[in-house]
Amino acid sequence: MPEIIIKSHAEIDAMRRACRLAAQTLEEAAKLVKPGENTLAIDDFVYEYTLKHHAKPAPLHYQGYPKSCCISINEVICHGIPNKKTVLKDGDIVNIDITSILDGWHGDCSATFYVGKPSPDAVNLVETTRRCLEIGIEQVRPGARLGDIGGSIQEFAEGRGFSVVRDYVGHGIGREFHENLQIAHYGRKGHGLRLVEGMTFTIEPMINQGTWRMRILDDGWTSVTLDKKWSAQFEHTLVVTKDGCEVLTKFSGPLANSVTPADFKF
C-alpha cells in the first residue's frame, strides 16, 4: 500500500496555486447558477477558464469520466455529469465540484448553490452541510485523529436529523487526484490515524435528508439517494500546519448563490 505523502513547504506553495485556481474557477462558475441554465454550459465555462489559466480540469477523462467538473442536483449525491438537457430550475440545490491541475498539482473544492428561491427544508440541509465542513476543518491539527473529523461531522448531522453518506470519503491529494488517505465523514472521535504536519487532503461531507444509501445510474457515474430525498455537499482541500490547518481552496469573498439566508438560525 502506498504511504501517505507529506508535502514540503515548496510543494505546499505549488499546491496553494493549484488550489487557488480551483477556488477561483468555482467562484466564477457560481455566477452562472440560475434558473434556465443547463449544466453543460457551466461545464464549458469550467473547461475554458481552466485552460485559459494554463491548467487542466482533473475530472476530464479521469477513469473515463467524460466532462470537466461534476454538477449534482437535488437527489444526486455526487458525480453528476454535465449535460445540455439538465437544466437548473427555481428551488433546486446544485453542487459544483471543481478540480484543477496546475503545474502537476491538484486542487479540489465544491459548494452547493441555491437556484432561485430555496424551500426552508433545502436551506436547512445546505446550511447543515456547510457547517459540517467547517466542523471537520476545526478538528484538523497535528495529533488530532481521523475519527475526530468524522465523528464530529456525524454527530452534528445526525443530531439535526440528517444522514452521512458512507460510500464516498475525503482523500489525500497532491500530485495525484486521490492519494492514499481516506477521510470518512462518520466515525468515532479519539479513534483512527493521527494527523501530521504536511498532510494534504480534502474534507467533503455529503449529507442527506433521508437514507445515506445510494445507487449509481446507468451512466456509471451519477450517484443518487435510494429514497430520492436531497443531498448536499461542500468540499475544501487543506494542509495540516504546525498548529492547525490552512484551507488551500479558500474563496476570496462570499460565493454567489451560496449565501446563508439572513433569517437562518441553527
**Is residue 43 involved in binding ligand MF3 (CB under 6 A)?**
no
Q: How far is the CB of 32 from ligand MF3 (least distance, A)?
A: 18
Sign of CA dihedral 249, 145, 233, 214: positive
Which residues here bind Co ion, judged by CB under 5 A? 97, 108, 110, 202, 235
Q: Tell me the β-bridge partners of 94.
A: 73, 113
* β pairing state of 223-225 and 170-172: unpaired
Cα gap 80→60, rounded to integer Å: 13
Question: According to CB under 6 A, which one of 108, 127, 148, 179 is a site residue for ligand MF3?
Answer: 108
Question: According to CB under 6 A, which one of 4, 65, 141, 176 is a site residue for ligand MF3?
Answer: 65
**Is residue 235 involved in binding ligand MF3 (CB under 6 A)?**
yes
Instruction: Report the residue number, 160 or 175, with the smaller CB distance to Co ion.
Output: 175
* Cβ–Cβ under 8 Å, residues 90 and 35: yes
Which range in 35-43, 59-67, 114-122, 250-258 contacts ligand MF3 by CB under 6 A? 59-67
Neighbour order of strands in the sheet with 223-225: 76-78, 223-225, 214-216
Residue with cell string 505546499: 12
Q: How far is the CB of 203 from Co ion (least distance, A)?
A: 9
**Is residue 214 involved in binding ligand MF3 (CB under 6 A)?**
no
* Cβ–Cβ under 8 Å, residues 69 and 98: yes
Question: According to CB under 6 A, which one of 99, 128, 129, 258 is a site residue for ligand MF3?
Answer: 99
Residue with cell string 474563496: 251
Cα gap 246→7, rounded to integer Å: 13
Q: How far is the CB of 52 from ligand MF3 (least distance, A)?
A: 20
Cα gap 38→44, rounded to integer Å: 10
**Is residue 179 involved in binding ligand MF3 (CB under 6 A)?**
no
Select from Co ion, ligand MF3, none the partner in contact with residue 59, using the beta carbon and a kind-dependent cut-off of 5 to 8 Å: ligand MF3
**Is residue 222 involved in binding ligand MF3 (CB under 6 A)?**
no
Which residues of the chain form contacts with ligand MF3 (CB under 6 A)?
A: 59, 62-63, 65, 70, 79, 97, 99, 108, 171, 202, 204, 235
